[in-house]
Amino acid sequence: MSDGRSLVYLVTGGCGFLGRHLLGVTLEKEKRVCEIRLFDKVVDPRLTEQSTGTENVIQACVELGVQYLVYTSSMEVVGPNVKGDPFIRGNEETPYNIAHAMPYPRSKAEAERIVVRANGTEVSGGKTLHTCSLRPTGIYGEEHQLMKDFYDKSVQAGGRLILGVPKNTEHGRVYAGNVAWMHLLAARGLMEEPQTVGGQAYFCYDDSPYKSYEDFNLQFLSAFGFSQVHVPLAALWFLAVLNDVLRWLLRPVCRWAPLLNRYTLAVACTSFTVSSDKARRHFRYTPLFSWAECRARTQAWVDTFPGLGAKKDS
């Protein structure tokens, strides 16, 4: 904060998918902003731990007298776990058997602990650092690389969608613009009611429909006329186990990270839906974009994909 009225925001990862949405929402909705600084870098994909980087951010806040920090965590700090235990409309207090089997959720959980623990730390100038953490469910929207990858793989498969997740699986998806909006509201909450918001973690969801990841993506890709090939779940589990074994065997010579493994398949097949009621109570979060707006914006972007015929001709 540069004075009593003007705000300076630093967005780490500001050139990424969520960072671009956060920039747009902040410029549109934060009337007191006088400057937004974007910080980004290319990260070596071999690096899996985030805790050191998070500690560096906290230290920078201490040295520079920064008072407010909102951390982008993930629902995966809670689950789904590889045992397939469902989590239905859960909140931040819902009991769950948390078991981190992969580096991403493990490092996210550790980074979140560091951020929450830093709440109340004294910073330069005798001020106090106030922190909170947001846990989005599966984020989607314009420029979402995973949705683009889903489309590209279908094109590479000759216009076939390879499906295998049980139809009754439900996941909570959240539009990137609404995630950005919650970040802005959480930052305001830290400034206005630090005794309530500080040191807290919040699930982040909107009004997007509960569907499996596959069915959710199909809502946007159906116009391409892909045929659907349903693979038995048992076959997918066999391939996932095989990939894990091959990854272990190849570890001494190279780092191979197949998209399909036991963890990713467990996540895809396990129902995991959350409630954002705590965020509504603590800093008055409601989605900025309705489901109709989220769908229209995402569909407009998907409609720019070249289509199956154009891919074949290229």
Known catalytic residue at 68: no
Name residues whose C-beta falls within 8 Å of residue 41's C-beta, 6 or more positions apart in sequence. none
Strand-pair category, 122-123 with 127-128: antiparallel
- Residue in 104, 202, 210, 263 annotated catalytic: 104
Q: Exposure string (b/e) for 84-107, b if CB count within 10 Å is 16 or more?
A: ebebeebebeeeeeeebebeebbb
Within 10 A of 230 (CB to CB), how many other CB atoms are there?
Answer: 11
Amino acid identity, position 78? V
- Any idea where the domains of the chain sit in the sequence? 7-299
Contact 21, 177 (CB under 8 A): yes
Q: Token match 């689950």: residue?
A: 79
Q: Token match 């998806």: residue?
A: 173
Whole-model pTM: value is 0.88
Q: What tens-digit pLDDT sequence spans the chain (314 residues)?
A: 444 568 888 888 777 888 889 889 998 998 888 888 877 765 444 334 455 788 989 999 999 999 999 999 999 999 998 888 999 999 999 999 998 877 888 999 999 999 999 999 999 999 999 999 999 999 999 999 889 988 998 898 888 888 888 889 999 999 999 999 999 999 999 999 999 999 999 999 999 999 999 899 999 998 898 988 889 999 999 999 999 999 889 988 888 878 788 888 888 899 999 999 999 999 999 999 999 999 999 999 999 998 655 444 44
Looking at CATH, the fold of the domain delimited by 7-299 is given as: Rossmann fold (3.40.50)
Q: What does the pLDDT read at residue 167?
A: 85
